[in-house]
Structure 1
Amino acid sequence: MNFQHYENAEDFAKVATPFLVKNEDKFSLFLGVLQRIKEGQYENPYMATIQENGELLALFQMTPPHPFNIIFVNEDRMDACIDLCITELIKQSIHIESIISIKEWAFKFAEKWQEKKGQNFSILMDQGLYRLDQLDESLEMSPGTWRYATVEDAPLIEKWYGLFEEDTALPKTAPLEIRNRVKVMLDANEAFLWENEGKIVSMMKKARPTAHGVTVSLVFTPKEERKKGYARTMVAAGSKELLKEFQFCVLYTDMLNPTSNKIYQEIGYQKIIDSVHLGFEK
């Protein structure tokens, strides 16, 4: 087996993309991030493959400080690939704070990493990846209408971005970086808002478009507006709009939050894989 680290994103994409496009929904995160790496939107990305006799066995990708993303193309060789990958990462002094992958794969990797590095791990988020091809048109919608966010909405979105991180226990992003990220999403027309009687009550954004699909993310409703169906309505309306351009939408949910999983299924989303985000002690 050969572990290959890539400095050039185009070279990595030539190897990775044929497999990824055949599994565009399941590995939309990996594929979408790879596209952004190719566009130069990440600094110091880490990209690697394991191959044997021309056969692709595994793919690895990381855009620090985001998690190390792992795909095993040939599950029969997973254990050997994990051993080789960890050996190479240690040899190259690659720092990993967390990993994300299909649940079974992530736990096997984390257990080996803990054994080799002595770093304990914990679940940061137990996730389900859901896919939507067609909206349930019989869904009852909350009052109000959706619209794209504009630059005038930036202060509110910046505030909600920080609150979203608190709710989901994500690492806290510096205010200046939040401001930059919000500007990018507004410039790209990616943020959706639900407004009722002149008041903005919920939001979502589109992320990581691929050839046929797109991700729904950053779904947030402030505490005072919850339990009114706004999040479900926002995601339903936003997803319907996105399906005009894409064949399907995907989104990640927290499996420990039965409410969010229920509302997405009511919209028409169906779970396609169990995923997990695991963090290593520092």
Structure 2
Amino acid sequence: MIAAIEKSGNIISCAITTPNKTNLAAFTTQFDVAVKPLVSYFNRNQIHLKGVNGKIALVNSFMEIYQKPITASTTLLLHTIETLQNIELVQHSILTLATTQDLPILTVWLKNFQIDAGLLPLKPDEEIQAVTEDKITKKTLYKLVLNGDQQPVSMLAIVRETEKFAVISWVYTPPDSRSKGFATTAVYKLTELIHNTYRKQCILFTDKSNPVSNKMYQNIGYRPIAEYLEIDF
């Protein structure tokens, strides 16, 4: 669902509702003017939100009016990249598209990724498998393999795309394979592919409170450009 608020013929705010969150955006610095009509729309139509996210000041303005109990909140950093850094990658590693043969293991990995990221409550296993299969079908789910072996050691995906941007997420390496550079190498190679082949800008979100992932992405060349607030109800 998409809700847009107009003033004098111009859109001043919008809300895009997904199964898990409602994404807020404002095209004016008068956030109170932008969010009041959105809150009224949700209340009038008895639309119960599971959560919201957006730039911190905008979400805070929204919550001053919405006033629903918060169960969890996370500050996210939006990263983008201009130049890949010259870093050491895992030798003899190949980034390749996931296939239907990978579906069982990558379904488990996606579930574990969601647990690690605190994306709760979890969807039923069959829904997680369907989402994984959809990414495989759309050729947006990737795996890192070693020495020509098709057994993945790390995974990641392009979760959203526009004409100019590609959003990387689902970066996951199982615990027994961590601290070996697999995730760093996978993100580096996918970023390079998106830049050089698809000619798009890469962006990704990280939890501000997670120094390990933030350091990894910054070593690759990603830099934070904005802070977002994600709230669960």
TM-score, structure 2 normalization: 0.93
Q: Who is 2:21 aligned against? A: 67
Is 1:156 paired with 2:105?
Answer: yes
Which of residues 257, 273, 279 is equivalent to 2:210? Answer: 257
Contact 2:28 2:34 in 1 (8 A): no
Contact 1:133 1:247 in 2 (8 A): no
Deviant stretches of 4+, over 6 Å = none
Q: Who is 2:76 aligned against? A: 127
Alpha-carbon shift at residue 152 of structure 1 (Å): 0.7
Contact 1:253 1:261 in 2 (8 A): yes
Secondary structure in structure 1 of the residue aligned to 2:161? coil
Q: Who is 2:3 aligned against? A: 48
Deviation per residue, 1:56-110 (Å, 9 max, x gap): 21111102x221111110112x112222221221111111110010112112212
Q: Who is 2:88 aligned against? A: 140
Contact 2:81 2:201 in 1 (8 A): yes
Partners of 1:251 and 1:175 lie apart in 2 by: 25
Alpha-carbon shift at residue 247 of structure 1 (Å): 2.8
Secondary structure in structure 1 of the residue aligned to 2:48? coil
Alpha-carbon shift at residue 134 of structure 1 (Å): 2.8
Deviation per residue, 1:152-185 (Å, 9 max, x gap): 1111100101101110110202111112111111
Give the aligned length. 228
Q: Who is 2:59 aligned against? A: 106
Compared CA separation, residues 50 and 60, structure 1 to 2 (3 A):
same
Gaps of 5+ in 2: none
Q: Who is 1:190 aligned against? A: 140
Q: Who is 1:175 aligned against? A: 125
**AA paired with 2:8?**
N
**AA paired with 1:52?**
K
Partners of 2:142 and 2:82 lie apart in 1 by: 19
Contact 1:123 1:276 in 2 (8 A): no
Deviation per residue, 1:105-135 (Å, 9 max, x gap): 1122123211xxxx22144322111112332
Alpha-carbon shift at residue 229 of structure 1 (Å): 1.4
TM-score, structure 1 normalization: 0.77
Which of residues 61, 81, 88 is equivalent to 2:34? Answer: 81
Q: Who is 2:166 aligned against? A: 214
**AA paired with 1:217?**
S
Is 1:94 paired with 2:47?
Answer: yes
Q: Who is 1:41 aligned against? A: none
**AA paired with 1:247?**
K
- Give the number of the structure with larger relative contact order, counting CA–CA contacts within 8 Å between residues 6 or more apart: 2
Deviation per residue, 1:161-213 (Å, 9 max, x gap): 11011101102021111121111111111111111253421110112111111
Secondary structure in structure 2 of the residue aligned to 1:208? strand
Partners of 1:124 and 1:190 lie apart in 2 by: 29
Structural RMSD (CA): 1.4
Alpha-carbon shift at residue 259 of structure 1 (Å): 0.9
Q: Who is 2:225 aligned against? A: 272
Gaps of 5+ in 1: 1-45
Partners of 1:145 and 1:81 lie apart in 2 by: 47
Partners of 2:199 and 2:124 lie apart in 1 by: 33
**AA paired with 1:142?**
V
Secondary structure in structure 2 of the residue aligned to 1:75? coil
Which of residues 6, 10, 13 is equivalent to 1:58? Answer: 13
Secondary structure in structure 1 of the residue aligned to 2:108? helix
**AA paired with 2:156?**
M
